[in-house]
Copies of this chain bind each other. A is one copy, B any other.
Amino acid sequence: MTRTHTIGPLFTDFYELTMAASYFDHHVFDSATFSVFIRNQPMLRSYFVAAGLEQVVDELNNFHFNDCEIAYLKETDLFSADFLSYLTDLRFTGQLRAMAEGTIFFPNEPILEISAPIIEAQLLETFILNTIGFQTMIATKAARCIHAAKGRPLLDFSLRRTQGQDAGNKVARSTYLAGFNSTSNVLAGKLYDIPLSGTMAHSFVTAFESEIDAFQAFYKTFPDASVFLIDTYDTLEGARNAARVAKHMQQHGHHLIGVRLDSGDMTELSQQVRAILDEEGLPNVKIFVSSGFDEFKITDVLARGARIDAFGVGTKMGVSADAPYLDIVYKMVRYKDRNVRKLSSEKITLAGEKQLFRKYDPNGFYAEDTIGLRDDIIEGTEPLLETIMENGKIVAPIPPLQTIRGRFKQNFSKLDDRFKTCKKVYPVHLSTRLKRLQDIV
């Protein structure tokens, strides 16, 4: 039996299974709550964009070990027949509480909590961290690019250098969620109904006798959907060749969408190419750029006066190159009737099941957050964690990606620009009751 849709429960660290076996041996079946949060990296990220919940719900809703998976575990000779039989019947029967995808949040705030018999909750750790961590990291990086581009369209061009195949698809989904216009990833376009973009590479241009031959050939196939890549030989000569073909297209009732630059000094070249296109009476032919763009390079070229209409954003965004992992953790905060936490060392966690409360200012902007106990009541705030699954069943279905995308856009407009860089820390407090609990655990 091969899985076709979910990844399955073997996508886990082995210790989740050895711990489960020992819990089973000792009849440890009480309910535990695990809380997910991201530790502070203050120089790198001031805010995060929640993403990945859809896949978590899908996996939990289909959680089971199939025969082939049980047979593999049996081969290890480490697990008793009773335990394997128990795993065969295991389903997720617990509660999932989480903030909606597209929610903006801050370091140390609870993103998601699982309450379930301890074996179920423990077995989900690795999958949840991987799934929420990666997609949140990319949605966050994408949001930073969106902010830098000041309204200009962004295109996801990262697929060739994402860290594997699943990453390529999840980058397309997470960037679209955060406001990108399209992706070059055809499979992701199909999976998630994301618009596609892409026209030609340098190899296309070199496969024809001349650059102008290549442009003409392409336009004949895509008379109203062409963007010509103009830097294969000489960028300014390429711009003139593109202009020649564009004017020919106009005479036949067609329109060249744009030209693309993929190398060189983007500020200077974009200004020169804009001048050539304008002189040729082609002010509506747009300038696309690609090659090494991320939020830092976008900010830089725009500050220097680049004439760029849209950015293809690739590798550095697709691997979150300046911060390629988040310090995301899944920590037990309650077991049976005890609030618990790990005490040693620098890695402090807060005991207790939590809720996150957001307060708005009179203009609708985010004012401050309070991390509280789940049953805290904090007037004048919006609680952000909601119950998504109860007794293993979905009670709040995940909305379509378009809805999530719209929600993020609205959320992002409510976060004051000064909190969108790492220079200003957004205020996050602990509630009185949560603080008091830590003293008595």
Contacts and interface: CB of A to CB of B under 8 A. Distances in A.
B184 A15 contact: yes
Contacts of A72: 186, 189-190
Contact of A32 (B3, B207, B324): B207
Contact of A15 (B10, B201, B342, B347): B201
Given A76-B196, A217-B25, A222-B78, A14 B126 contact: no
Contact of A134 (B5, B122, B164, B187): B164
Kindly state the interface size class of chain A when it binds its partner: 35 or more
A4 interface: yes
Contacts of A431: none
A160 interface: yes
Interface string A320-332: 1100111010111
A264 to B, nearest CB: 5
A165 B163 contact: no
Interface stretch (A16-24, A302-310, A374-382, A406-414): A16-24
Interface stretch (A88-96, A225-233, A365-373): A225-233
A187 to B, nearest CB: 4
Copies in the complex: 2
A340 B206 contact: yes
30 contacts: A4-B4, A14-B185, A14-B186, A14-B198, A15-B198, A16-B198, A18-B199, A18-B222, A22-B218, A25-B220, A26-B217, A28-B207, A28-B217, A34-B203, A118-B207, A122-B201, A130-B159, A134-B161, A160-B330, A161-B325, A163-B319, A164-B167, A165-B166, A202-B342, A207-B332, A232-B343, A232-B344, A233-B343, A233-B344, A319-B319
Contact of A207 (B21, B23, B134, B344): B23
A41 interface: no
Nearest to A52: B164
A157 interface: yes
Interface in A156-195: 157, 159-168, 170, 184-187, 189-190
Contacts of A19: 199-201, 203-204, 218
A232 B4 CA distance: 39
Given A13-B198, A196-B76, A347 B263 contact: yes
A196 B10 CA distance: 12
Interface of A: 2-5, 7-8, 10-19, 21-23, 25-26, 28, 32, 34, 69, 72-73, 76, 78, 118, 122, 125-126, 129-131, 133-134, 157, 159-168, 170, 184-187, 189-190, 196-204, 206-207, 217-218, 220-222, 225, 231-235, 263-264, 315-316, 318-321, 324-326, 328, 330-332, 335, 340-347
